[in-house]
Structure 1
Amino acid sequence: MTHEPPLGDRPRAPVNPHVPHPARIYDYLLGGKDHYAADRAAADETVRRAPQVRESARENRAWMRRAVRYLVGQGVRQFLDIGTGIPTSPNLHEVAQRISPDCRVVYTDNDPVVLAHARALLSSSAEGRTAYVQADLRRPEQILQARALWETLDRDRPVALMLSAVLHFVRDEEEPGRIVAAFRDALPPGSWLALSHTTNDIQPRQAADAAAVYGERRAAAPMVPRPLREVEAFFDGFDVVEPGVVQLPLWHPDGPVRPRLLDEVWLYGGVGRLSGG
């Protein structure tokens, strides 16, 4: 028997298939089927300008799985995954619950298409639980005050905040650092942050060209690649574990890392524990 808690707030706006959305673009890059012509056109143009984005998408997914395995190994049993995207198996809860079936996961996203597939995100083990909250990362209070969040997670136990390839869709003027801090300050003692983010350090010109597509296509969110120092700053208040904030293939790899991969993957990632926890 599976637990299927409430889906959280329903979306207030219908899906607009003519506006590319990062969740659907990402689904297309991963070989999924839940996207519209506008999403495919934006993704294809991004790949034309920067072919490495497909490899980056795959490596980001692989990093998420490694980070979750690491966190469960550290005793974490609760996860808040923000910017979930369209379900791509194995989903976060599947990775975590294979190791420890009692893990609990709350997923959040602002794309109504993700809500349409949320049942796949709610297929929890009998021992664990999952829930879905329809909300926008830019309004952390929406998520933190959602009924489904604290009905699913225990306020007195550590939570792993997962920000996987989502903060680069937040403009500087929207204060991504403030957003992370709002979640950090609401987390129970001993909680964790796992974060990945696109960078312009490796191939600056191509990164700028790829990011420009989101503006030209009037996507639902921009893409803002950031240098290492800015990505590291999101971990303020957390003690970052080894090997630090590094290119994704270098973070606890499952095997040897091909040197060429470091030219193809334009994301940094890291994991940190709440200081003093």
Structure 2
Amino acid sequence: MEQEQPVTRTRRMAMLIDGDNAQPSLISNMLAETGKYGMVIIRRIYGDWTTANMSGWKDVLQTYAIQPIQQFRYTIGKNATDSAMIIDAMDILYEDRVDGFCLVSSDSDYTRLATRIREKGIFVMGIGKQTTPRAFVNACDVFVFTENLQKNLHKEPRPVKEKEPRRKGEKPGKPVVEENENLNDPLPLLKQAYDLAVQDDGWAFLGVMGTQLRQLDPSFDPRTYGYRQLSLLMQAYPDVFELEMGKKGDGTFNVYVRLKE
């Protein structure tokens, strides 16, 4: 998404990973995604390293300089990782060592932790599966689905897929994003963000729209619908939005959006 949040390279980030609820094969993608919002200076993963399900992480710990934190399961069937990770997060928070957190888990138990971090004015992002409870997703400033970190994305807008073949002289129907027919239609959310970002002249700055989309839904991501950038997703609706590029005084280009009548 273009400029939905300023990239702050000076922001110091702490990445805390719930080893029971994360995939080791995605660690490089998760670090790259977190790096968009700051420099990851603390990297910790929590779990019971005496169990077989943590073996997949052992090969990547040294490669990515991740510190393993041992937490025994005192009761069978209970996850003690949550408590250890929450306690560490609160210690880091009140030591003022970082300016942001990345919580890697799909567990709703971290909802209150994310809320508390935001209450202190600290940036918090989450990374988890699409099945992550909405309460945890909405408690974060930004939430990234792991499914979006492993899919192949289209660099250009895909041809519109029509539900039925058109007859001669018939106008094209609404765009339908391929391979994502079961997902909710992003168009209502796009229109809502446009209404919040539109200026008096009827144009909205795409960067402001991106910020509003994150405010409306922290998990909004054009990659969910198969597009690498917000502008490409909006180009999939040529009958709804008009996009235009404008040049600023410093030579950079901004993308503006207008809702068609």
TM-score by length of 1: 0.37
Higher relative contact order (CA 8 A, sep 6+): 1
More helix per residue: 1 or 2? 1
State the structure with more CA Rg.
2
TM-score by length of 2: 0.38
